[in-house]
């Protein structure tokens, strides 16, 4: 069974940092591109970042470019999102999502982890 | 960056109704468009990819059409399980922008 489990969320102060992790199991993690998506309370989905299956290609939404860094450790089947210079508007539930090999879209998602940025 | 505009933002309908949701891209995305369904507190579920391809296991009452900049998601006969929020997403570029969503609610 495919599972994606996020951790590392919580409360951070404006200007602070957090690192999210997404532990993958039930599939060959090194074969899949991965993404982070966030959803602010009561709002819609916002794509945040993507990383290729080998980790050499990374992409970011303009809203997080220069502040967030996506990475992966294929030996640990884990995806990361380093979030620096956090702002109040980064408050959201962050989810990792797998890109399906046949659909090229997000076929499995984690349950999400809440990040709150507040003083 | 490509912007995605969905309409309407809210749609009131009854069981058995035919429902159509529109998504427009700010520039051509060929057929690189997906539709997701999300229920409160749950992860989104992929319904349609490549504008009109039905994801495995998705009921055939869901269909997608369009190319270029205009796309539609149609539910041929709305079922109780279909009351949810629907999002389009482009994947023509690596910046996979979502639309703002369409909430389908009971009339």
Give A4-38 pLDDT, tens digit per residue.
999 999 999 999 999 999 999 999 999 999 999 99
Contacts of B91 (CB under 8 A, 6+ apart): A104, A105, B29, B32, B33, B34
More confident residue, B94 or B9: B9
Structure tokens at B89: 């997403």
Structure tokens at A103: 């659909």
The pairing of strands A58-60 and B19-25 is unpaired
Q: What is the mean pLDDT of chain B?
A: 95
Mean pLDDT across A113-119 = 97
pLDDT tens-digit series, residues B11-42: 999 999 999 999 999 999 999 999 999 999 99
Task: Choose from A37, A39, A45, A107 for mutation: most chain B CBs within 10 A.
Answer: A45
pLDDT tens-digit series, residues A71-105: 999 999 999 999 999 999 999 999 999 999 888 89
Q: What are residue A29's phi and psi, to 5 degrees?
A: -50, -45
pLDDT > 70 in chain A, percent: 100
Nearest chain B residue (CA) to A50: B94
Contacts of B50 (CB under 8 A, 6+ apart): A103, A104, B31, B32, B33, B34
Neighbours of A17 (CB within 10 A): 12
C-beta of residue A82 within 8 angstroms of C-beta of residue A68 = yes
Which of B1, B53, B98 faces A44 most closely, judged by CB atoms?
Answer: B98
Structure confidence at residue B95 as a pLDDT band (50, 70, 90): confident
Q: What are residue A17's phi and psi, to 5 degrees?
A: -135, 155
Residues of A contacting chain B (CB within 8 angstroms):
35, 44-47, 50, 59, 61-62, 95, 100, 103-107, 109-112
Residues of B in contact with A61 (CB under 8 A): 95
Altogether, the residues listed in chain B come to a count of: 107
Neighbours of B92 (CB within 10 A): 16
* Min distance B11 CA to chain A CA atoms (Å): 16
């Amino acid at each position: 069974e495919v599972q994606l489990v996020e951790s590392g969320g919580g409360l951070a102060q404006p200007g602070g940092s957090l690192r999210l992790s997404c532990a993958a199991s039930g599939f060959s993690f090194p074969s899949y591109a991965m993404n982070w998506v966030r959803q602010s309370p009561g709002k819609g989905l916002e794509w945040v970042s993507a990383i290729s299956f080998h980790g050499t290609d990374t992409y970011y939404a303009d809203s997080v470019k220069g502040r967030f860094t996506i990475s992966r450790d294929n030996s640990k089947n884990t995806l990361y999102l380093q979030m620096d210079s956090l702002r109040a508007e980064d408050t959201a539930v962050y989810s990792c999502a797998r890109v399906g090999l046949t659909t090229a879209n997000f076929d499995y998602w984690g349950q999400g982890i809440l990040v709150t940025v507040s003083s | 960056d490509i912007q995605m505009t969905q309409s309407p933002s809210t749609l009131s309908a009854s069981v058995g109704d035919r429902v159509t949701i529109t998504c427009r891209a700010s520039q051509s995305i060929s057929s690189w468009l997906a539709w997701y369904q999300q229920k409160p507190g749950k992860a989104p579920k992929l319904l349609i990819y490549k504008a009109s391809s039905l994801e495995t296991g998705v009921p055939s009452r869901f269909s997608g059409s369009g190319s270029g900049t205009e796309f539609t998601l149609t539910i041929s006969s709305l079922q109780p399980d279909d009351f949810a929020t629907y999002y389009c997403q482009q994947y023509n570029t690596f910046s996979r922008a979502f639309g703002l969503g369409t909430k389908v609610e009971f009339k």
